[in-house]
Amino acid sequence: MNFRKYFGPSTLIAAAFIGPGTITTCTIAGVKTGYTLIWAMVFSIFATMILQEMSARLGYTTQKGLGEAISSKYEKGIKRVIALILVISAIMIGNAAYEAGNLSGGILGLELTFGSFKYWVLLLGGISFLLLYFGKYKWIEKFLITLVIIMSLSFLLTAIMVKPNISEIFKGLIPSNLSKENLLLILGLIGTTVVPYNLFLHASTISKKWKSTDQLRDIRIENNVSILFGGLISILIIITAGSQIGNITEVSSAKDLAIQLQPLFGDSAKILMGIGLLAAGLSSALTAPLAAAYAAKGLFGWEDEKSFKFRAVWISVLVIGIGFSLVGFKSITIIKFAQIANALLLPLIALFLLSICNDPKIMGQHVNSKTKNILSFIVILITVSISLKTLFLLFT
């Protein structure tokens, strides 16, 4: 069997969600609750597999992105106006929040490796701008993702070394621990795994890898295996952080994130975590603005990726992200906010995707099955329920 054929868009999507948000949120979850929120990550993995399969199937069937599909489904009238306003607002707000988190993650990496400097964000923002503007970033992105994967494997080795309590891990698979503070963590775990802009990216990139009419099975294999691998790394981060309960009481700096790797790497853990965070932050800092621009391109039918309009979208997302990072908020706080904000926005994008995947005019014979609709509805219902309960507790 040629395993290389399975490495495509889904592999990059999975690598993309192992970013600063995942490392930070999973570490906080482990430090604060031990293994008791592993169930939330398992749900997030399940949700990602369901929604990303729909996105991939859309791209494969139509050879178009999600933005183009939304535009073609709502061609005119008030429905089109409402759809465009809702989707663009969600993408711009969500991606700007993610961009702030990505840059903040890169800053944490630089601080661990080279020390504190107030204007690290300008360096990262400048590098991101140049790479996006000239479009010469694909090989850099692959190199950065390789570094992220090396760091991810470090969590696997560390998790084996710390010898976690297996029975406690299995207990963590049962939903529990739904206090107000933990609901925010649960939303963060969902938001850092089921990334709304990945639903746009996946559909847009799938046609470049898969073009023939008999490859849907291969697409699903790549989707499920890649996301399971990414999700496993997230669970391992929770486990390694949970094993440090008593050694860490609060995650407020990059040094706190590195402590969980010390059983394996000792003092070198800071350098490894620093390089990993920098790589994850910079690679994601390229992806988020570009995803917003591609979404807008599909919605409005733009053709030229070097046009002023296309560039204006990704520049706006990048500038907003830099602005948030310069305001003075702690990097950890920005990253936490980004994941929660996107979890709140997720149901909106998921509903549009679900609607399109049930439209035979767009999907033909590849519309959702009844089982797929039930699973998708469960994912959306649970996410909305957690979001509403969290908002209710926050404002009462």
> Considering only 59-73, 210-224, 344-358, which range has the smallest mean pLDDT?
210-224
Nearest to residue 320, comparing CAs of 93, 120, 111, 135? 93
pLDDT tens-digit profile of 279-288? 888 888 888 8
For a pLDDT cut of 70, what percent of the chain falls above it? 92
DSSP letter string, 163-205:
---HHHHHHTTS-----HHHHHHHHHHHHHHS-HHHHHHHHHH
Residue 248: phi and psi, rounded to 5, are -125, 130
Residue 245: phi and psi, rounded to 5, are -55, 130
* pTM summary value: 0.87
Give the pLDDT band of residue 343 (cuts 50, 70, 90).
confident
Instruction: Give the list of residues 6+ apart from residue 75 with CB closer than 8 angstroms, or none.
Output: none
For a pLDDT cut of 90, what percent of the chain falls above it? 26
Query: Which pLDDT score, from 0 to 100, does residue 45 have?
Result: 94
Q: Residue 111 and residue 278: Cα distance in Å, rounded?
A: 9
Taking all residues of the chain, what is their mean pLDDT, rounded to a whole number? 85
The residue written with tokens 């059983």 in the block is: 263
* 246, pLDDT greater than 60: yes
Q: Residue 31 and residue 116: Cα distance in Å, rounded?
A: 24
> Considering only 23-37, 61-75, 206-220, 302-316, which range has the smallest mean pLDDT?
206-220
Structure tokens at 246: 């008593």
pLDDT tens-digit profile of 8-22? 677 777 766 778 888
Query: CATH 1.20.1740.10: does it fit domain 3-394?
Result: yes
Give the pLDDT band of residue 210 (cuts 50, 70, 90).
low
pLDDT tens-digit profile of 135-191? 766 676 677 677 777 777 888 888 888 888 899 999 999 998 788 778 889 998 998
Query: Which pLDDT score, from 0 to 100, does residue 180 have?
Result: 78
Residue 168, judged by CB atoms within 10 A of its CB (0-12, 13-18, 19+), counts as middle
Query: Which pLDDT score, from 0 to 100, does residue 358 have?
Result: 95
Q: Residue 315 and residue 132: Cα distance in Å, rounded?
A: 9
Give the pLDDT band of residue 3 (cuts 50, 70, 90).
very low
Query: Which pLDDT score, from 0 to 100, does residue 1 have?
Result: 41
Of 166 and 291, the one with more pLDDT: 166
Q: Mean pLDDT, to the nearest integer, of 274-303?
A: 84
